[in-house]
């Protein structure tokens, strides 16, 4: 399993206070009062998403409980993935000639998220940075879709991607954003420098503020009649192009 579950209001509140790696909290629609407000406040402060669920969904989440155990209307999913800091990702990649980091802006589908992690691991990305809010959790579906790639990547969760980008720039990273309508094709971008590439939400793409913070935007040229790609497919193309530019010529010719 990619996550454990904590049930009960006091247990969840204490887990939040202790800084446990909670990926998401599920609250039964009919649950009210008690220390739920405290839990909401702590979760918001830490950027932990909260989902209100109906009785059927809640029953599925608590099916592992014995008959005499009560979840008190709340379940917290605790990821077994150990998150890194952005500082540790940059430090671990500092010895490489051309470090490459992916920044994910609000990828909300767990299967897309897992597929992206699989691709990033396959092409040897040095790290993946996600934001705490509006981001799919690393749950069982994510890990399964990643084919275990989630365990082979350095992943950092940041409250503010704008600040994360500022930090990367201070460390010498060049920031490139995937934007569907950009006139610059990805094949015309030089990735032979420390680079962080931002890919965005399935529907709305990368936020305007992050695009404006970028050094450059690029697009994947459209060949056929379909005018867009699934974000995980697009990320695969991006990772391949970065790898292609970084790889020794002999390696590419042997593929």
pLDDT tens per residue, range 15-71: 888 877 788 899 999 988 888 999 999 988 877 889 999 999 898 888 887 766 778
Q: Do 231 and 114 lie in a common domain? A: yes
Q: Among 29, 61, 79, give the residue marking a domain's end.
A: 79
Q: Where are the beta strands (DSSP E) in 95-215?
A: 100-105, 127-131, 155-158, 174-178, 195-200
CATH number of 27's domain = 3.30.1330.30
Question: In terms of C-beta density within 10 A (0-12 exposed, 13-18 middle, 19 or more buried), how is residue 68 classed?
Answer: exposed
The rounded Cα 218 to chain-centroid distance in angstroms is 21
β partners of residue 217: 177
**What is residue 176's predicted lDDT score, i.e. its pLDDT?**
97
Name the domain count of the chain: 2
Q: Do 8 and 74 lie in a common domain? A: yes
β partners of residue 128: 102, 155
Residue 27: give the domain boundaries: 3-79
pLDDT tens per residue, range 152-189: 999 998 989 999 999 999 999 999 999 978 899 999 99
pLDDT tens per residue, range 187-242: 999 999 999 999 999 989 999 999 999 999 999 988 887 777 899 999 999 999 99
Q: Do 71 and 131 lie in a common domain? A: no
Q: Do 110 and 150 lie in a common domain? A: yes
Q: Among 26, 58, 79, give the residue marking a domain's end.
A: 79
> How long is the chain?
255
CATH number of 236's domain = 3.40.1280.10
- C-alpha 188/C-alpha 197 separation (Å) is 15
* Tally of CB atoms within 10 A around 254: 8
Q: Which of 35, 33, 30 is nearest to 13 (CA)?
A: 35
pLDDT tens per residue, range 120-144: 999 999 999 998 878 887 877 888 8
Say whether pTM exceeds 0.75.
Answer: yes
Tokens read off for 175: 């920031």
Instruction: Give the list of residues 6+ apart from residue 206 with CB closer than 8 angstroms, or none.
Output: 105, 177, 178, 179, 198, 199, 200
- C-alpha 15/C-alpha 30 separation (Å) is 22
Asked whether the predicted pLDDT for residue 1 surpasses 70, the reply is no
């Amino acid at each position: 399993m990619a996550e454990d579950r904590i049930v009960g209001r006091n247990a969840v509140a204490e887990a939040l206070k202790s800084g446990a790696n909670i990926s998401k909290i599920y609250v039964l629609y009919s649950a009210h009062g008690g220390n739920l407000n405290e839990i909401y406040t702590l979760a918001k402060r830490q950027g932990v998403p909260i989902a209100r669920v109906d009785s059927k969904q809640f029953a599925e989440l608590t099916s592992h409980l014995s008959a005499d155990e009560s979840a008190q209307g709340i379940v917290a999913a605790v990821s077994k993935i150990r998150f890194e800091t952005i500082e540790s990702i940059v430090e671990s990649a500092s010895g490489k000639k051309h470090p490459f980091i992916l920044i994910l802006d609000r990828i909300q589908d767990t299967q897309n998220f897992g597929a992206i992690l699989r691709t990033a691991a396959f092409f040897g990305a040095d790290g993946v940075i996600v934001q705490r809010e509006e981001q799919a959790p690393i749950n069982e579906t994510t890990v399964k879709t990643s084919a275990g790639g989630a365990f082979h990547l350095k992943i950092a969760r940041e409250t503010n991607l704008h600040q994360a980008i500022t930090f990367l720039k201070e460390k010498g990273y060049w920031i490139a954003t995937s934007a569907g309508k950009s006139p610059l094709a990805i094949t015309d971008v030089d990735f032979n420098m420390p680079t962080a590439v931002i890919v965005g939400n399935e529907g709305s793409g990368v936020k305007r503020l992050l695009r404006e913070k970028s050094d450059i935007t690029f697009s994947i040229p459209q060949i056929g009649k379909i005018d867009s790609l699934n974000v995980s497919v697009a990320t695969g193309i991006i990772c391949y192009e970065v790898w292609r530019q970084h790889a020794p010529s002999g390696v590419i010719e042997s593929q």
